[in-house]
Amino acid sequence: MTQPRLWTALLTCLLAGAAPMWGGEDLSPFYGKTIESIRFEPEKQPLSNEQLALLIGLKAGDTLAELPLSKAIERLWTSGRYVDIVAEGEAKGAGVELTFVTTWASFVSRVTVEGVPEPPNPAQLTNATKLGLGDPFEDSLLPGAESSLQDVLRNNGFYTATIRHETSSRPETEETDIRFYIQPGPRAKLTRPVFEGEPAMSEKKLIRLTNFQRWYGLRGWKDMDGRRVQRAVEKMRDAYLKTEHLEATIRIASVDYDPKSITVTPHFLIHAGPSVFVKTEGAKISKGQLRRLLPIYQERTVDRELLLEGQMNLERYFEAQGFYDAKVTYSLADPTPEGAQTIQFRIQKGPRYRLVHLDVGGNKYFDQQTIRERLGMIPARFPRYRRGQFSQQLMEQDEASILDLYRSNGFRDAEVKSVVERGFKGKATDLGVTLAITEGAQWFVTDLELTGVDLQLLDVIKAFLASTPGQPYSVASVAADRDNVLNWYFNNGYPDATFDASVVVADEPNRIILKYAVTEGRRNFVRDILVSGLKATRPDLVNHRLAVAPGQPLSQGSIVETQRRLYDLGIFAKVDVAVQNPDGRERDKYVLLQVEEAKKYSLNLGFGAEFGRIGGGSNSFDSPAGASGFSPRGQIGLTRSNIFGLAHTASATIRVSSIQQRLLASYLAPQFLGNENFNLTFSSLVDRSRDVRTYTSNRSESSVQLGQKVSRGITMQYRATARFVFIDRNSLKIDPTLIPIYSQPVKTIAASASFIQDHRDDPLDARRGFYNTLDAGYAVPFSGTSTNYFRLVAKNSTYHPLRREVVIARTTSFGWLHNLDNEPVPLPENFYAGGASTHRGFPDNQAGPRDLVTGYPIGGAAFLFFQHELRFPLVGTNLTGVLFHDMGNVFSSFDNISFRYRQKNQQDFDYTVQAMGFGFRIKTPVGPLRLDLAYAPNTPRFVGFVGSRDDLINGTGQYNVPQRVSRFQWHFSIGQAF
């Protein structure tokens, strides 16, 4: 029985006093008889026997009556699980057997649209059907869905598309999948558009603006695309705006389809309107700034309200620049015979002021710092705020901020008044502002009445309340209580919970009685979770990450957490979660989880450059300390995701530059073994690089790493690495007698572990917190390996805010390489440091010991660096400055670490190099853009060699040439130094 049929029957019974008729059967002969049994047909129902018994409210042994039967059918109907309900009776002994014959409802599950090339994309087509996940489904909805699809298809050039649909039902869960199969036919081509009305612009220029042609018409016209046509309208509007046709109107009059040529002719109705010229008098202001400040440009019309708003915006603009007395008026000149109109804004800037003094008085409850940190007005400070920050609007906002602070702490009658003193301390263009606070009495909650809460939940709900007896009263606290309580109820299966608050003034002065009335409403539980859309992904991978489970309360927070966990896998383009039958009044609900798997393959390209002291010829020995150079680089990467349906990812990346060529392949298993705290990575690389200028190395390396997230701020990493490094002996720039030793291939097998502790407030630009890392490794002396050593690297960084936006940051880095073999550690295994992230007094990898013949760096067995920075605002909000001091070096051995700052001789490199300097930071979305200028007074002096490689080998050339690392260095990069 449909809903109208049901309610008609009920209404007829109530008005006529007759017995209701279900399916044409008169049950009145059975009224007053005992119900012997109750049956449902079909026997299997979408609701459990327990729920059915609760809904009908009838049981064997009850007396059958008209009103209880009507109520039973009404409750079954409001469950939302049925589209037809018929009650039938049959004599059984002295009583009656009652049978409910039902027809189940069906609900939308997966909707797919296939066969259409983009555009439109699948999401646009699916949304066009207006078939929402979990909503009731009827066949009558399909014609409307197909009509909407046809509209989208025609808008994208498919005028001959045919649509057919298929539905497949799963009766056990009342789900229906709907698939639309589309034969799109050919996509129509755009052709020469028609411009009607009064364009006042040449057709040739308008066609060029539409961008409908391929290669300026040499290759014909582009495909029909609704977005392309709409972009054409926007481009034409912008073009008219640039030619002062402010009120130009452009609309699509029609789009005519020609089935013979399969082309579309757009008709644009254009009225250019009169020219509108905007001029300013009394102050210069750019046209671009005018277009941002005057709403007539955004609204593309001229009226008095918009002109007044623009006048106000101009005044505020000049106020923000220090012209606090700025006045702006406007006038409209009479239109010319051609209809052109001129709007004249007259600007009287007045003198330019500085806010030099800001005082806060009358505050007793809050200290000065608490209030000032909420103020937008800032007194003049060099160099960041040369004139301070002040305007009428800013002053009003600060008054409101202070009032909010007081009223949220119980001061209902607080007042704030601002007094502006011009000519502060006798200087005509200096301003002083005083914020006078009248606190008034503080109001407290004397009693709290909480009603409507289940006694078992009373302590739980009270724990969320901030407005308890003895606490200051404020509207903000009451609102927070409402939000906290309702959030708890919504996250524990109470979708209809309500919260009402009322306030009564107590007999005691400055005291409030709060009354909270909660209506809990029905409680919903999870019946089951129905997952759809999985193709390559294994179901267990999803099931292990569900934050909801059958039998649990239906929690909105758990639903959101489920979405987060699945998105974190990185294999789903879309995750939709909905409740089936959302409006039905049933206790247990199905949760529908529908996923759309992302594309398996992705390709990324990148280009960049490195510049600094990285130059010097590969065969030249002239610049052992580096020379200014430029190295472009390019990168291409291919990624395959969701391997084996386990969310594993394989990737390959090729990076090419003049100093490095690298191929990197990796395999990542996130959330290893279903545990989101573990990940497993296999990686291999082949690399040829000259980043250490002493030699060119060819490296092959493979590693396996297990990562563990111990807690929110602590991560552990466990690695095993096998590495083979071959040094091109023809690239070695060291004493020829050492080349046979250091050019030997290096085979290393190492086990290592890392401890990472990150408690920074912002990893890209930290202002407070600390960051610690510890990495320990052991090169195992297996057969065939070339090394046996213990390696330790540690780093400790801390960040301390001194005051608003001023931070002291420091870091200490330490490394130790302990050789456990009789042979020297190969050059590639030594420590190399210096540069933007370790010691800014050196070029990259130029710190530490050097070859005594050529002067090129050969690395060391230990390093120790100390870096300190004072970070402070410089100009405005985006440019900050840094004063820094770096000290330390790479040392030949742990025993030779020294804090001595003088170099003994040109063969001594075991001393501490000092560097100080100034840096600039520009805020960007990807982190600070950094430029550091450093001066190191005690950079190493050394001797080098001038000549060719043949000269070096033959003992000719010029030896013992005095050289020195430049005392001035500069470094440019992205991100803070540490």
Region for 18 from its dihedrals, namely left if φ exceeds 0, alpha if ψ lies in -120 to 50, beta otherwise: beta
pLDDT on residue 116: 93
pLDDT in tens, 172-228: 899 999 999 999 999 999 999 999 999 989 999 999 999 999 887 677 899 999 899
First and final C-alpha spacing in the chain: 72
Beta pairing class for 525-532 and 588-597: parallel
Nearest one of 384, 387, 327 to 352, comparing CA atoms? 387
pLDDT in tens, 431-475: 999 999 999 999 999 999 999 999 999 999 999 999 999 999 999
pLDDT in tens, 700-736: 999 999 999 999 999 999 999 999 988 888 888 888 7
Q: How far is residue 854's CA from residue 889's CA, in Å, rounded to a whole number? A: 20
Is-same-fold flag (3-104; 525-597)? yes
Q: What is the mean pLDDT of residues 639-660?
A: 92
Contacts of 874 (CB under 8 A, 6+ apart): 383, 384, 880, 881, 920
pLDDT in tens, 112-150: 999 999 999 999 999 999 999 999 999 999 999 999 999
pLDDT on residue 498: 96
Using pLDDT thresholds of 50, 70 and 90, give the confidence band for residue 608: confident
Q: Any idea where the domains of the chain sit in the sequence?
A: 3-104, 109-183, 189-271, 276-348, 354-438, 444-519, 525-597, 603-974
Q: What does the radius of gyration of the chain's CA atoms come to, in whole angstroms?
A: 39
Residue 1 has pLDDT above 70, yes or no: no
pLDDT on residue 776: 97
Residue 17 has pLDDT above 60, yes or no: no
Q: How far is residue 850's CA from residue 855's CA, in Å, rounded to a whole number? A: 5
Using pLDDT thresholds of 50, 70 and 90, give the confidence band for residue 622: confident
Structure tokens at 634: 């390019």
Q: What is the mean pLDDT of residues 321-340?
A: 88
Q: How far is residue 31's CA from residue 5's CA, in Å, rounded to a whole number? A: 22
pLDDT in tens, 214-270: 887 677 899 999 899 999 999 999 999 988 898 899 999 999 999 999 999 999 999
pLDDT in tens, 729-757: 888 888 877 877 777 788 899 999 999 99
Domain 354-438 in CATH 1.10.630.10? The answer is: no
Cis peptide preceding 42, ω within 30 of 0: yes
Q: How far is residue 804's CA from residue 455's CA, in Å, rounded to a whole number? A: 48
pLDDT on residue 946: 87
Q: How far is residue 899's CA from residue 915's CA, in Å, rounded to a whole number? A: 14
Three-state DSSP class for residue 102: strand
Using pLDDT thresholds of 50, 70 and 90, give the confidence band for residue 7: very low
Beta pairing class for 929-935 and 968-974: antiparallel
Distances (CA, A) of 426 to 349, 423, 717: 21, 5, 66
Q: How far is residue 862's CA from residue 893's CA, in Å, rounded to a whole number? A: 5
| Mean pLDDT estimate for the chain | 90
Structure tokens at 50: 């327990």
Answer yes or no: are the C-beta atoms of 554 and 589 closer than 8 Å: yes
Report the percentage of the chain scoring pLDDT > 70.
96
How many other CB atoms are found less than 10 A from the CB of residue 598?
14
Q: Give the least confident one: 537-541, 742-746, 904-908.
A: 742-746
Domain 603-974 in CATH 3.40.50.300? The answer is: no
Report the percentage of the chain scoring pLDDT > 90.
70
Q: Please, what CATH class does the domain formed by 189-271 belong to? A: alpha beta
Q: Please, what CATH class does the domain formed by 525-597 belong to? A: alpha beta
Structure tokens at 94: 């002295």
200-239 b/e with 16+ CB inside 10 Å = b? ebeeeebbebbebbeeeeeeebebbbbebbeebbebbbeb
pLDDT on residue 611: 67
Cis peptide preceding 120, ω within 30 of 0: yes
Using pLDDT thresholds of 50, 70 and 90, give the confidence band for residue 23: very low
Contacts of 868 (CB under 8 A, 6+ apart): 808, 809, 810, 884, 885, 886
Answer yes or no: are the C-beta atoms of 610 and 655 closer than 8 Å: no
847: DSSP letter: -
Q: How far is residue 894's CA from residue 298's CA, in Å, rounded to a whole number? A: 68
How many other CB atoms are found less than 10 A from the CB of residue 86?
20
pTM of the model: 0.81
Structure tokens at 716: 């552990």
Residue 768 has pLDDT above 90, yes or no: yes
Backbone angles phi, psi at 972, to 5 degrees: -125, 125
pLDDT on residue 339: 82
Distances (CA, A) of 340 to 271, 276, 279, 336, 343: 14, 6, 13, 5, 10
Length, in residues, of the chain: 978
Beta pairing class for 249-258 and 175-183: unpaired
Sort 337 into a burial class: Cβ within 10 Å, 0-12 / 13-18 / 19+.
exposed
Helices (H), 723-844: 739-742
Using pLDDT thresholds of 50, 70 and 90, give the confidence band for residue 6: very low
Q: How far is residue 848's CA from residue 712's CA, in Å, rounded to a whole number? A: 37
Q: Please, what CATH class does the domain formed by 276-348 belong to? A: alpha beta
Three-state DSSP class for residue 252: strand
Q: Please, what CATH class does the domain formed by 444-519 belong to? A: alpha beta
pLDDT in tens, 47-75: 988 889 989 999 999 999 999 999 999 99
Nearest one of 889, 848, 843 to 866, comparing CA atoms? 889
One-letter identity of residue 446: T
Three-state DSSP class for residue 233: helix
CATH superfamily of 109-183: membrane protein fhac (3.10.20.310)
Answer yes or no: are the C-beta atoms of 704 and 680 closer than 8 Å: yes
The CA-based dihedral angle spanning residues 136, 141, 142, 146, taken in that order and rounded to the nearest 10 degrees: -120
Secondary structure string (H, E, C) spanning 295-355: HHHHHCCCCHHHHHHHHHHHHHHHHHCCCCCCEEEEEECCCCCCCCEEEEEEEECCCCCEE
The CATH T-level fold of domain 3-104 is Ubiquitin-like (UB roll) (3.10.20)
Q: How far is residue 667's CA from residue 646's CA, in Å, rounded to a whole number? A: 12
pLDDT on residue 384: 80
Handedness of CA 448, 449, 452, 458 (dihedral sign): positive
Helix axes 66-78, 3-16, angle to 10 degrees: 160
Find residue 719's DSSP bridge partners. Answer: 705, 752
How many other CB atoms are found less than 10 A from the CB of residue 709?
15
Order the strands of the 415-422 sheet from edge to edge: 354-361, 430-438, 415-422
Q: How far is residue 977's CA from residue 971's CA, in Å, rounded to a whole number? A: 10
Three-state DSSP class for residue 725: strand
pLDDT on residue 18: 35
The vertex-869 CA angle with 864 and 873, nearest 5°, equals 165
Handedness of CA 301, 305, 309, 314 (dihedral sign): positive
pLDDT on residue 278: 93
